[in-house]
Every structure is written in C-alpha cells, then in structure tokens.
Structure 1
Amino acid sequence: MKKYIIFGASQGLGDAFVKGLPTAGDHVWIVSRRRPDSLDLQDGVHRSWIQADLAEQHVAKKIVASLQEEMLDVLIYNVGIWEKSGFEDEYNFDHDDPVDIANIIHVNMTSTITCIQALLPNLRKSEAGKVILIGSSAGLDHTNNSQVSFVASKFGLRGITNALREHVRKDGITVTCINPGELAADIPYEDGPDKAINEYNGTRIPVQDMISLVKCVISLSRAACVKEINVPAITDTNA
C-alpha cells in the first residue's frame, strides 16, 4: 500500500495521476481548489480532498494540518500557471501586469518550496520517499519560448529539484523533475491515449505516457535516483 499526495489534481494531468497511479488499497490526498470528480470513483483507492488555493501565503500550514502525522511515500507537485494569452500568437511580455508576474512566481515556485518543506516530516516516515516535480520543456535551454515569468519559474523548478535532492539525500528521499512538452491534457485519462494521438495528430503527448514514466520512477528501489526526465513531443523541434 502506498500513500500519495498530488498537487493540482482536479483536472488535466493531475487528474490523470490520481486515476492512473494508485491501486486498490492505496491512499491519495488530492490538493486542489475545486472538488475533483475522482472522489466519486469506486475502485478500492481511498481518496481524500484537501481544498487549497496555492496562491495563499500560508497554504502549507493548512495542508499539513489536514495530513497531521500521516506517512507519505510519494509527493507529486503538478502545478503551473502562466501568463494571460501565454503560448498564444498575440502574447507580448511588454503587456504583462506586475501583479500577475508576482503571482506566477509565487504559485509556481514559492508555494512549491514551502509546501514541500512542510511535508518533509511526513515523507521521512517512508522507507523510500519520492518527490516528483512536474516542470516543462519551456524551462529547458534554447526552447524559444518568450513567456518570461512562466519560463523563469519552470527553469527555477529545476534548481529547486537539484538543491532539494541534496538536502534530503541523507533521508533516502529521491527528487525527480519531469519536463514534458505540450500535453493533450484536455483529453480525459479514461478516454485512452489513442484519442489524444488522433485528436492532435501526434503533436501532443497523451497523459498516459506521463503516468507510465511516473510509475517507473516510483517503482525503482531506494538505491536508484532519477534526476531529470525531458519529454518533448516528437514533432517539437524547439525542445
């Protein structure tokens, strides 16, 4: 039996993690602003919802209060907001509001640090704790993205991963950053990968591929540590 906490898990990739990773008998805490539909599943997995807005300053305390002394085996931080009109043809960094910039950095980086820091005591109770951060190929070098704040935050996530790994090495906790390219996250997990591939003609990655990667990382023994995985779409020549 494994115990998970998954951030950003009410829809898209996070929802896929909640549905595709655990097996009967596992316990999953779901952190999200909106109530996830996965709570209604009857598949032998115990799912608990922690309603939380990661833009709030003291959200980590609320999450820890919900978990209390529970052990955690796997923490998956799948959070990422971006600029208004980001990744659209009309996007222009000149027009970004400083308040929006600060919020992107706070949600994508500051909350990542404070929430993981708060949950380290729970992870240390596991025999082989694992932290998995979901970055983006936009945070890699030379990927030709102009969304300054989002790119900076995802590049910074890689730095968080590297430093955190050193901090918890003595505890036997591994820390991995996975950097996917564009995902077919709007295609529900239960609809299968073929629908995602056909819908986008293979230009977006099915969420099932991400499930397979994370399952592999989780299944490794405590002797192994996967540092970083880059997963662009095969058609993406910029990543």
Structure 2
Amino acid sequence: MSARVAFVTGAGRGIGRAQADALADAGLAVAYVDHDAALANEAAEAAIARGVAAIGLAADVSDYAAVAAAAQAAAAALGPVEVLVNNAGISPKSGADGRRAEAWEMPPEEWRRVIDVNLTGAFNCVRALSPGMKAQGKGRIVNIASVAGRTYCDIVGVHYAASKAALIGFTKHLAGELGPYGITVNAIAPGRIDTPMMRGTASTANEAVRLSTPLRRLGQPEEVAATCVFLTSDASAFVTGQVVDVAGGWLMT
C-alpha cells in the first residue's frame, strides 16, 4: 500500500481513530475527518509525527456541503481519494444509567439525528467521493454497520438498529452499482467493542454482553481496524457486497 489516500469519518477516537491509524501505518495518506475539529487535528498530527501524510478535517457528515468541502480539501492536500471508510455514527442513550429510549418514548428529533448521521452521512460521503473513484477506475468503500443491524440487540435504540440495517442494504446495493467501475463496497459489523461510545452504556449491560460472547471478552478497536485494512487492500480485490462480523461470536446470524 503506497501513494493511496483514505478518507475516514469519525476518525477522532474509538474505532474510527484505530482504522485511520491502521491505514496510515499501512502506508496510506489519511484524511482524519471528525465533527470535532480538535480531535481530528490531534489524530492527524500524531500520524504526521510518525511520518505519515495526513490532514485533520472537521465536518458534520449529515451536512452534504460540509462533506463535499472536506472531500475537496482532502484531495487538494493529499491527492485523489481512493479509500472511503464510513465510520461516523452515534447511539444516544437516556440518562446516567446508559439506558436506551424505547420507540414509544423516543423524541422524533433524536430519531432524525441518528438516521442523518449514521445513514445519510454515509450517502453524503459516497455522493461526494464516488465520482472521483469512478474517474480513477478503482476504489474501496467500507461501511461500519453493526451486529445490531442483523438481529435484535437490547442495548441499542431502534434508530441505531434501523440505521445499521439500512447500511447493510446500502452496502449491497452500492456494490452492484459501483462494481463495474472497479470499486468494491463492503461492510464491517462490529460487536461490543471497547470504545468511549460503549462506555456510555451501563457496565452491567456490557458485562452481560461479555458473558454471552463465546470468546468471553469485548473487542478492541484495533481488531476492527485489521479487518478494515484487509477490505481496503489488494488482497480483497475480489470481495464486494459482503458484511464481515467482528464480534467474537456475539449475536451470530
């Protein structure tokens, strides 16, 4: 992997940061994109200190104009974007106990915000970056879904589950549309990964997941990142339209 450019959303921390760092360490130039400018810049500066070509960009992925501007800035600074990782996502919880809002009590604006970030955000990035990939005749897109998009998970809200299930359909359809242009589209469905988002849930709930996971532990962001590196490399050139669970066997489907 060399002289390739990756655009990773939600790259300021957690799974997104791990994926962006892993791609950078694999030799790609990386645009660290996050809604928090400080987190994006800090992550990019750390990569630059390791000798990687990188840039930190602030963008709310639910805002197409902001995404388009970030895509242009990434291309101007690093070159044509060949790899897109749609990682940005939110999973709001209610109260200090990390409890989800049930469908009948969920504020409509909370539903809209989750769909806007988790699903429309991925569309916005594809809309902004896929024309350039088509022009190059190659590209890799990885969407970060969730095992909650495959089956019932009592930790997350219905908005999160719906957005992740939609991302799986989005992945398969895009794989069909973009395949003729040399672009692969795949998804990763993480299970319970030890991230700041996960720690927003009650510890008792996370412990219950650990005990119900065949490997009897929570996942690490770097384990998701390793799968992302594979799906964006030449080794996966004949893999498209697939969903890879990285969940330790939890919620097997």
- Per the normalisation by structure 2, the TM-score is 0.79
Q: Which residue of 2 aligns with 1:11?
A: 13
Q: Which residue of 2 aligns with 1:232?
A: 247
Q: Which residue of 1 aligns with 2:66?
A: 59
- CA pair 238-68 structure 1, distance change in 2 beyond 3 A: closer
Distance in 1, Cα, partners of 2:50 & 2:103: 45
Alpha-carbon deviation of 1:88? Answer: 3.7
Structure 1 contact 164–175 (Cα < 8 Å) conserved: yes
Distance in 1, Cα, partners of 2:159 & 2:177: 26
Alpha-carbon deviation of 1:89? Answer: 4.3
- Per the normalisation by structure 1, the TM-score is 0.83
Q: Please, which runs of 5 or more residues in structure 2 have no aligned partner?
A: 198-209
Distance in 2, Cα, partners of 1:164 & 1:57: 18
Distance in 2, Cα, partners of 1:49 & 1:185: 21
Q: CA RMSD in A?
A: 2.7
Name the aligned partner's letter for residue 244 of structure 2. I
* Partner residue of 1:180 out of 177, 183, 190: 190
Alpha-carbon deviation of 1:84? Answer: 2.9
1:207 aligns with 2:207: no
Distance in 1, Cα, partners of 2:140 & 2:18: 18
The alignment partner of 1:94 has SS state of coil
Q: Which residue of 1 aligns with 2:125?
A: 115
Alpha-carbon deviation of 1:85? Answer: 2.5
The alignment partner of 1:93 has SS state of coil
Q: How many residues align?
A: 226
Structure 2 contact 8–84 (Cα < 8 Å) conserved: yes
Distance in 2, Cα, partners of 1:130 & 1:175: 6
Structure 1, residues 91-124: CA drift from partner, whole Å, max 9, x if none? Answer: 4332211111111111111121122111112223
1:46-195 aligned at under 5 Å gives the runs 46-68=53-75, 70-85=79-94, 88-89=98-99, 91-126=101-136, 128-144=138-154, 147-186=157-196
- CA pair 46-85 structure 1, distance change in 2 beyond 3 A: same
Distance in 2, Cα, partners of 1:175 & 1:23: 22
* Partner residue of 1:38 out of 34, 43, 61: 43
